[in-house]
Amino acid sequence: MQYVPVPIDLLEIGKTIPVDLWDKTGKLLLRRGHNLQSEQHREMLAAHEALITEGDALAWTRGYERMLHEMLRDGSSADEISRLTMPGEIPESDFLAQEDDMSGGWMVLRDRLQGLLYQAQQAEQGAERLERLRHHALDLLTREPDASLFVLFQALSDPLLGYCATHALLSAVVCELTAVKVGMGAAQRASLFRAALTMNVGMARAQDRLATQNAMPSESQRQLIRDHASLGVETLTGIGLVDTHALDIVRWHHEPDAAPGLPENLQQRHLLRVADVFVAKMAARKTRLAMSPLGAARSMVLNASGVAPVLASAVATTVGFYPPGTYVQLVNGERAVVVKRGPRAHDAHVVSVVNPGGMPLLQYLHRDARESRYAIRTPVNAEKIKVVVNVERAYQALAQGRA
């Protein structure tokens, strides 16, 4: 995940800050929705060199630049302009990419996908935007597959980031990696990736609400869950998506065997269903704990039927029993984050981030899990890890440990 400095001098005391603020070690300094309380609070943020994600920075800056442009247009004085501060909210439209340039990392991409999923019916050139997002995601995945899994599994553990877009990206990545493993053709994989990114466009906002609400789904929410696949196809057709295979996969991704036509999409439907369930099981809810990747993989294989068990096994062996970005406890009592897949499903490269006493390590330590004292004892749910992991420091520790 890429971070940029917070414009400390442009923060107004008492105004809501609509982004999460972090320090350089990855510790959360201020949760979005809170405000700058005092001048001393500002000094504290400056002392910690507060940072924001690149995606949040781009969206937040768009709002500031728009207000600045309006003031210049209206003939505001230089004194008035000098007092302009960062906006206290970020419209969803500012997360929707307006540029053809698809630069930035996974969190920028996640923000842009969220904007498209939220505003698909109003989006201009929606199908073209979706295609640019797909190519950008594939480029990031091809360049750094393990780092891609790391960032997305880390994001999955924080539903406040927006669960729908993270779930879609991670499902698409799992589908792509597994599809390559099982020998699926390029055209089939392209349709599957489009479907994975958009399978829940018919209930994007509701999916984010469901991820954070304390109660079980209401009857109206249950009805939307039942209808969202067909609603998604209507929405995607409306924005100009003409890939009939992708539309078919979206329509039947919850009922792969129920489709009356296009039998050649059966494998893609089942794979998306498996990936969808796999990712969902590892996401915590207010009403239940997250399942570990190993537990989710076992559950998929045991409960699958037809062609699904083979695909479920393929997913498990592709991403590993301990995927990058997830956590494990080692034999020596340390808790570590997985940073790279090993040659076999049960192998992994890990970096310890919490000592046996439960305290965060000031220096991340690469551990060779092949050594008995550093062997993986068990997976650990993300909600039991009380530290925010810095991806750059984690991969630096890996590089130093393997040097």
Q: For residue range 181-228, what is the model confidence (pLDDT) as tens digits? A: 999 999 999 999 999 999 999 998 888 888 878 888 889 889 988 999
The yes-or-no verdict on residue 146 having pLDDT over 60 is yes
% of the chain residues with pLDDT over 70:
92
**Which of the four pLDDT bands, split at 50, 70 and 90, describes residue 28?**
confident
Whether residues 149 and 245 fall in one domain: yes
Whether residues 205 and 283 fall in one domain: yes
Whether residues 70 and 144 fall in one domain: no
Whether residues 221 and 149 fall in one domain: yes
The yes-or-no verdict on residue 170 having pLDDT over 90 is yes
Choice among 117-121, 272-276, 295-299 with the minimum mean pLDDT? 295-299
Whether residues 150 and 77 fall in one domain: no
The yes-or-no verdict on residue 242 having pLDDT over 90 is yes
- Higher pLDDT pick, 59 / 237: 237
Q: How far is CA 30 from the centre of its chain?
A: 20
> Would 300 be classed as within a structural domain?
yes
Q: Rounded distance, CA 162 to CA 107, Å?
A: 11
% of the chain residues with pLDDT over 90:
44
User: Sheet holding 327-330: strands in order across?
Assistant: 360-367, 348-354, 335-341, 327-330, 376-380
Whether residues 231 and 127 fall in one domain: yes
Q: How far is CA 329 from the centre of its chain?
A: 23
Please give the torsion angle defined by the CA atoms of residues 204, 210, 212 and 214, in that order, rounded to the nearest 10 degrees: 170
Tokens of 169: 């990206």
What confidence tens digit (pLDDT) does each residue in 124-142 have? 788 999 999 999 999 999 9
> Would 109 be classed as within a structural domain?
yes
Q: What pLDDT does residue 381 have? A: 86
Answer yes or no: are the C-beta atoms of 312 and 320 closer than 8 Å: no
Q: What pLDDT does residue 279 have? A: 93
The pTM for the full model equals 0.76
Which residues on adjacent β-strands are paired with residue 330?
Answer: 376
Q: What pLDDT does residue 259 have? A: 76
Q: Give, in degrees to the nearest 5, the angle at Cα 91 between 80 and 17.
A: 65
Question: Which one, of 4, 47, 45, 8, lies nearest residue 28 by Cα?
Answer: 45
> Would 135 be classed as within a structural domain?
yes
Whether residues 235 and 270 fall in one domain: yes
> Would 273 be classed as within a structural domain?
yes
Whether residues 347 and 278 fall in one domain: no
- The domain in which residue 340 lies consists of 327-402
The yes-or-no verdict on residue 97 having pLDDT over 50 is no
> Would 90 be classed as within a structural domain?
no
Mean pLDDT, residues 102-126: 81
Domain end position, chosen among 319, 338, 364: 319
Q: What pLDDT does residue 100 have? A: 45
CATH number where 311 lies: 1.10.3210.10
> Would 95 be classed as within a structural domain?
no
The yes-or-no verdict on residue 161 having pLDDT over 80 is no
Whether residues 125 and 205 fall in one domain: yes
Alpha helices in 74-125 (DSSP H): 78-82, 106-118
Domain end position, chosen among 276, 301, 319: 319
Q: Rounded distance, CA 142 to CA 155, Å?
A: 19
Whether residues 337 and 266 fall in one domain: no
Whether residues 164 and 285 fall in one domain: yes
Answer yes or no: are the C-beta atoms of 241 and 189 closer than 8 Å: no
Q: What pLDDT does residue 54 have? A: 78
Q: What pLDDT does residue 96 have? A: 57
Q: Give, in degrees to the nearest 5, the angle at Cα 117 between 186 and 281.
A: 75
Question: Which one, of 358, 350, 355, 360, lies nearest residue 388 by Cα?
Answer: 360
Domain end position, chosen among 254, 288, 319: 319
Q: Rounded distance, CA 297 to CA 376, Å?
A: 17
Whether residues 297 and 332 fall in one domain: no
E-strand stretches of 31-70: 51-53
> Would 215 be classed as within a structural domain?
yes
Structural domain count of the chain: 3
Tokens of 119: 């505003």
> Would 87 be classed as within a structural domain?
no
Answer yes or no: are the C-beta atoms of 215 and 287 closer than 8 Å: yes
Q: What pLDDT does residue 2 have? A: 66
Mean pLDDT of the chain: 87
Question: Which one, of 345, 335, 339, 341, lies nearest residue 380 by Cα?
Answer: 335
